[in-house]
Amino acid sequence: MSSPQPTYTPCIAIHAGAGYHSPSSESALQTLLCQALTTAISLLRSPLPNNTALQAVTTALRILEDSPLTNAGTGSNLSLAGTVECDASIMDGSDGSFGAVGAVSGLKNPVMGAKEVMEGDRKGVGLLGRVMPMVLCGEGARVFCEDRGIECVDPEDLVTEEARRRWEKYVQHFEDAKRGASDRKRPLAVDTPTSSSSSSKRPRASLPLDIQESLLNDTIGAVAMDSTGTIISAVSSGGIALKYPGRIGEAACYGAGVWALNPNNDISPQIGIGISVSGTGEQIMRTLVAKDCAEVLNDPALTTTDVPNFLRRFVEEHFLKQKVLGRYDERNVGFIVLRVDPGGGGEEGTEEEMEDGTKVDEVENADTNSGESVSCEIWYAHTTQSFSVGWMSAGDRKPTVKMSRKRRSKHLVIEGRPL
C-alpha cells in the first residue's frame, strides 16, 4: 500500500521592492498589495484548471505592474534617454523551466512576456531542432511577444507624468555633476539610497530629500504554491533610475532574481523553495542571490529555528562581505522565501524574538486531510531601509501586508512565519 501523499494548502507571497518607501505612499501601496493577494488567492481556491500557481503569480504581478505606485510596467523609472525599459523573469519549480525578457519597451505586462519565453524553454527545441531561448532582450523580445499575442502598447503609454517629473530632476542633477557645477558627486544607481554597515568609508553625497522620497524601488515579485505543490517564482522591474538604455538587471538574469523548486523534487527528497529578489541588480547578479540562497535552505534537516541563522550567515557572508562587491558604496538586497517541507520540518512553539532581533513564529502547519504534516513558511530579509511584503494562504480570511523598516542600529532584517 502506497504512503499517503501530502495535500498542499495553496498560498502566495509578494513584494513591492526593497529600497526606500516614503511613509506618504505606504497606505496606498498596502492597499495595492491586498488587491493583488486577494485576486491571486481567489484563483488558487478555484477548481482546475484555473487554480495554478502560474496563473496566481502572473495575475498578482500584472496588478502590480499596472499600478504607477510600483517600479514595473506602467510608471517605471525612466532610462537616461527618458524611456521605459523593463526586465522580468519567471521560473517553474516542477521542471526548472525559466523565461525572461530584458530591456524591453512597449510591453504592457513584462511578466507575461517572461511567461511566454518560459513556455518555449519548457519545450526545449523548436522547428528544425533549434534550441528555444531562455532570455530575449530589446526589440527582439517585443516582436517575439507581439507575435504570440502578448499585449504591446506605445512605449509612451507606460510613461506617467510623475515618472517624467522625477526623470527631469534626476537629469538636471546628473548634468550638474557632469559639468562640475556641483561638488556633490551622486551615484547613478539612485534607486537604492540606503546605506548599511558594510558600506565603504569613501565619502559620498546624498540626493536632496525630496528626490529621495520620490524614489521608486527595484524589482517587484511573487512566489506561489498551488494544491499540487507546484511552486512558481517571478520578478518584474523597471530598473534603476537614469540607467543606460539597454541595461539589464537581476530581473532578467537566471539564478539572480528568482528560483523555484517543488517539494519532493529530484534534487532534495523533501524541500520545496520559491525565492524572489529585489535590490541593486548589478550586485545581485554578481552573487546569484536566488539560486545560492535556495541551495542553502534546501536541507530537510533545517528546523524553523535554524532558518534565520542560515539566512543571516548567507546574507552577511555571501552578499555584504563579498569582495566582488567592494566597488560599491552600498550593498542592497531584499528577498522573500517560500519554504515547504512535506515532512513537517517546523517545530511547534510560539513567536519569539531572538537575540539578534530576528522574529520567528514557530508553528507547524499540519494538513489533516492528507494525514501528512506539511510545514510551509514565509521568510523575508533585507539590508535596505524598507521592504514592502505581503502574503496569504487559501485558509486565510484576509491577506497580511507589511512595510518592514530597518532600524538604524541594524544592518539586516530577517523575519519569518508559517503560512
Report pLDDT digits (tens) over 396-410: 999 999 999 999 888
pLDDT tens for 111-156 read: 999 999 999 999 989 888 899 999 999 999 999 999 999 999 999 9
**Helix and strand counts by DSSP (H, E) for the chain:** 9, 17
Maximum separation of any 2 CA atoms in the chain, in Å: 79
Question: What contacts 276, CB < 8 A, 6 or more positions away?
Answer: 15, 219, 221, 222, 223, 233, 234, 235, 257, 258, 290, 335, 336
Torsion of CA 236, 242, 247, 248, to 10 degrees: -20
Instruction: Give CA 203 to chain center in angstroms.
Output: 30
In which residue are the cell numbers 502547519 written?
A: 365
As given in the structure block, the three cell numbers for residue 308 are 534565520
- The number of CA neighbours under 13 Å toward the Cβ of 373 is 11
Q: Which letter, b or e, does each residue of 195-225 get, where b requires 16 or more Cβ atoms within 10 Å of its Cβ? A: bbebbeeeeeeebeeebeebbbbbbbbbbbb
Q: What integer is the mean pLDDT of 4-9?
A: 78
pLDDT tens for 245-255 read: 999 999 999 99
Is a pLDDT exceeding 80 seen at residue 212? no
Question: How many angstroms separate the Cα of 38 from the Cα of each of 34, 56, 227, 398?
Answer: 6, 10, 17, 7
Of 137-146, 197-206, 217-226, 315-324, the range with the lowest mean pLDDT is 197-206
Residue 131 near residue 46, CB atoms below 8 Å: no
- By three-state DSSP, how is residue 185 classified? coil
More confident residue, 14 or 187: 14
pLDDT for res 213: 46
- Res. 364 pLDDT band, cuts 50 70 90: very low
Q: From the candidates 52, 219, 280, 287, give the one annotated as an active-site residue.
A: 219
Question: What contacts 99, CB < 8 A, 6 or more positions away?
Answer: 89, 90, 114, 115, 116, 117, 118, 119, 120, 121, 134, 135
pLDDT for res 205: 47
pLDDT for res 358: 55
pLDDT tens for 144-172 read: 999 999 999 999 999 999 999 989 988 98
Is a pLDDT exceeding 80 seen at residue 243? yes
Question: How many angstroms separate the Cα of 218 from the Cα of each of 4, 20, 76, 307?
Answer: 42, 10, 9, 26
Name the pTM for this structure.
0.88
Instruction: Give CA 375 to chain center in angstroms.
Output: 22
Distance, CA of 340 to CA of 357 (rounded, Å): 24
DSSP output for 70-89: SSSSTTPPP-TTS---EEEE
Active-site residue, 219 included: yes
Distance, CA of 14 to CA of 134 (rounded, Å): 23
Distance, CA of 188 to CA of 244 (rounded, Å): 10
Is a pLDDT exceeding 90 seen at residue 198? no
pLDDT for res 354: 43
pLDDT for res 342: 85
Is a pLDDT exceeding 80 seen at residue 373? no
Is a pLDDT exceeding 60 seen at residue 94? yes
Find the angle CA(392)-CA(285)-CA(14) to the nearest 5 degrees: 10
Q: Tell me the average pLDDT of the chain.
A: 85
Torsion of CA 75, 78, 84, 89, to 10 degrees: -80
Residue 56 near residue 12, CB atoms below 8 Å: yes
Contacts 24+ apart (CB under 8 A), 44-52: 44/10, 44/11, 44/12, 44/224, 44/226, 44/227, 44/394, 45/10, 45/394, 51/10, 51/226, 51/227, 52/226, 52/230, 52/232
> What is the percent of the chain with per-residue pLDDT over 90, rounded to a whole number?
67
- Res. 202 pLDDT band, cuts 50 70 90: very low
Other CB atoms within a 10 A radius of the CB of residue 324 amount to 9
- Sheet containing 386-393, strands listed edge to edge, beginning at the edge strand earlier in sequence: 135-137, 98-104, 86-92, 231-237, 220-225, 11-19, 386-393, 400-405
pLDDT for res 199: 38
- Res. 218 pLDDT band, cuts 50 70 90: low
Question: How many angstroms separate the Cα of 70 from the Cα of each of 28, 129, 179, 238, 257?
Answer: 11, 40, 32, 9, 17
Distance, CA of 290 to CA of 284 (rounded, Å): 8
Instruction: Give CA 351 to chain center in angstroms.
Output: 26
User: Is beta strand 400-405 parallel, antiparallel or unpaired with respect to 413-418?
Assistant: unpaired
- Res. 217 pLDDT band, cuts 50 70 90: low
pLDDT for res 359: 58
- Res. 201 pLDDT band, cuts 50 70 90: very low
Q: Which domains can be identified in the chain, with CATH numbers?
A: 11-156+214-418 (3.60.20.30)
Q: What integer is the mean pLDDT of 50-75?
A: 95
Distance, CA of 240 to CA of 190 (rounded, Å): 7
Distance, CA of 192 to CA of 264 (rounded, Å): 37
Is a pLDDT exceeding 50 seen at residue 362? no
